[in-house]
Amino acid sequence: MMTILAIADHGLQWPDAEQFLRVLLMRDYNTRVVVLGVSVLGLAAGVVGTFMLLRRQALLSDAVSHATLPGIGLAFMLMAAWGGDGRTLGGLLLGAALFGVLAIFCVIGLTRYTRLKDDTALAIVLSVLFGLGIAFLGLIQNMQEGNAAGLSQFIYGKAASMLAVEANTIFVSACVIALVCTLLFKEFTLVCFDQGFAATQGWPVGWLDLVLMVMVVGVTVVGLQAVGLILVVAMLIIPPAAARFWTDHLSRMALIAGGLGAVSGYLGATLSGLMTNLPTGPVIVLTATFMFGVSLLLGWRRGVIRRVAAHVRLVRRVGMQHLLRAMYELRESGDDPIRIGRLMMKRSWSIRRLKRLLKRAQRCGHVQAVSDQSVRLTEQGLAAAATVVRNHRLWEIYLITHADIAPSHVDRDADAIEHVLGAELVERLERTLAVEPSRAPPSPHPLAGAAS
């Protein structure tokens, strides 16, 4: 079974349509297991990563993955020294796993028994162990025995050169990891959210933490061949970070992260199969990052566009409410229709902004133009304005009577908060102030710009 997925071993070549289909539709057995294996690995990484992200341990997974390199090097040297094939995969991965666990204990030990902060401990452990790994690789290159070629594949990852057996191992391990996460979902959630509380209920917090770390080591180690140790952290962290933009619910976040991870795994494995000299790791990272960017912009919960849109809506609503209130107050003092010049004096708005506001108010039917220079509230506009003014004045009266704020200052304070008063709060204000519903009380202070 030495079938190798790499389409061509020399030169940069774009695949032709037939190859493209063959890989995308996974017609070869080998392609199929490799792509499936890496996809399931992506899924498991996304789920485990969700907990790492929430546990604020994103960087720990980076330290773990870097620490696997000396493990691989040492395992290779030992196996070669005892006369075996240094590249026996099981041995290499065992060495990687042991060093991954060692890295975790180093970080925990450094933070617990010295006064070092955890970022310092992480930086030390990561760089020292990775440096050690590079030194080992240097030694190995000078060794005669053992067949050192291909060790660097663990650094960048090359799914395309994986054997079906190896891909099967990935598949099975990833399934086990995903299963453990599902079974311990409740426990991991509790430990990530509130360790102290979890401990008082008798959950073995330390052990659960350790199981989570072992999952991370597991993802890292089985992902080494496919993704490479430098970039495996991206598979753990980027999908959950992207998922957070879409949901406020942990189980959905884990599902989305798993899905994004699987998609990036799939694309990473297929693209690296298609294109010569394209390592899997970078493709997976780039795919995941692309989806992260999309989530950042479009995410329903926390996406930038949604937040900007919400802000724009708020600004518009506030502007409209200012206009309606100004017109209502002028109408109270007898201006009907209202001259635009008089409106100008009510607030510090520019003529352009005022005109724009008026135009928008006309479009939604709150205001009608009487002439070039004067406008009036429509019936609908009047009703809307009455509500706005009412809320404003209720809040002002509340501030004066209950918060001891001078009447001359309440206008500004009320201005800041009235636009966010919800129905529930208004109702409470009405009850507190014992005013009858649906009528605006008179203003508790003289109005600016009123001719009265």
Partner 1 sequence: MASSARTSEHSANAPLSIHDMTVAYHRRPVLWDIDFDAPQARLIGIVGPNGAGKSTLIKAALDLVPRVSGVVSIYGKPYRQQRRLVGYVPQRESVDWDFPVNARDVVTMGRYGQIGWCRPVTRRHRAAAMEALDRVGMADYARRQISQLSGGQQQRVFLARALAQEAELYLMDEPFAGVDAATEQAIMAILEDLKHAGKTVLVVHHDLQTVSDYFDWLILLNMRIVDAGPTADVFTHDNLHKTYGGKLTLLSEAADLIAKQR
Sign of the torsion angle spanned by Cα atoms 410, 412, 413, 417: positive
Stretch that binds partner 1, among 133-141, 151-159, 245-253, 332-340 (CB under 8 A): 245-253
Stretch that binds partner 1, among 85-93, 187-195, 277-285, 322-330 (CB under 8 A): 187-195
| Contact pick of 21, 78, 134, 183 for partner 1 (by CB under 8 A) | 183
Give the residue with the Cβ less far from partner 1, 56 or 307. 56
Which residue, 125 or 253, has its beta carbon nearer to partner 1? 253
199 binds partner 1 (CB under 8 A): yes
Among positions 16, 85, 119, 248, the unique one binding partner 1 when judged by CB under 8 A: 248
CB of 318 to partner 1, least distance (A): 21
Question: Measured between alpha carbons, how far is 127 from 5 in angstroms, rounded to an integer?
Answer: 33
List the one residue from 81, 131, 135, 197 that touches partner 1 (CB under 8 A): 197
The two three-digit tokens of residue 303, written as one number: 């996406």
Taking residue 209's Cβ as centre, other Cβ atoms within 10 Å add up to 20
Residue of 247, 287, 321, 391 interacting with partner 1 (CB under 8 A): 247
**Could you tell me which stretch among 12-20, 240-248, 334-342, 405-413 binds partner 1 (CB under 8 A)?**
240-248
Measure the CA–CA gap between 26 and 131, rounded to whole angstroms.
39
Single residue of 232, 253, 269, 429 touching partner 1 by CB under 8 A: 253
> Is residue 249 at the binding interface for partner 1, with CB under 8 A as the rule?
yes
From candidates 192, 275, 327, 388, binder to partner 1 by CB under 8 A: 192
Encoded one letter per residue, x for contact with partner 1 by CB under 8 A and - for no contact, window 37-56 reads -----------------x-x
Which of helix, strand or coil describes residue 187?
helix
Q: What is d(CA 128, CA 366) in angstroms, rounded to the nearest whole number?
A: 69
Residue closer to partner 1 by CB (options 57, 153) is: 57
Q: How far is CA 100 from CA 90, 97, 207, 222, in A?
A: 15, 5, 17, 12
CB of 203 to partner 1, least distance (A): 8
Which residue pairs, CB below 8 angstroms and at least 24 apart, start in 382-388? 382/328, 382/331, 384/324, 385/324, 385/325, 385/327, 385/328, 386/328, 386/440, 388/321, 388/324, 388/325, 388/328, 388/418
Task: Give which of 202, 142, 171, 204 is closest to 30, Cα–Cα.
Answer: 171
Residue 424: Cβ-neighbour burial (10 angstroms; 0-12, 13-18, 19+):
exposed
**Residue 201 interacts with partner 1 (CB under 8 A)?**
yes
Kindly state the smallest distance separating residue 106's Cβ from partner 1, in Å: 21
Answer for which of 87, 94, 111, 203 binds partner 1 (CB under 8 A) is: 203
Among 16, 194, 336, 427, the residue binding partner 1 under the rule CB under 8 A is 194
d(CA 341, CA 381): 20
**How far, rounded to the nearest angstrom, does the alpha carbon of residue 15 sit from its chain's CA centroid?**
34
By CB under 8 A, tell whether 244 contacts partner 1.
yes
CA proximity to 221, closest of 381, 301, 101 = 101
Q: Cα(first)–Cα(last) distance of the chain, in Å?
A: 96
Q: Which residue has the tokens 């870097």?
A: 66
196 in contact with partner 1 (CB under 8 A): yes
190 is an interface residue for partner 1 by CB under 8 A: yes
Return residues touching partner 1 (CB under 8 A). Answer: 54, 56, 183-184, 186-187, 189-190, 192-194, 196-203, 244, 247-250, 253
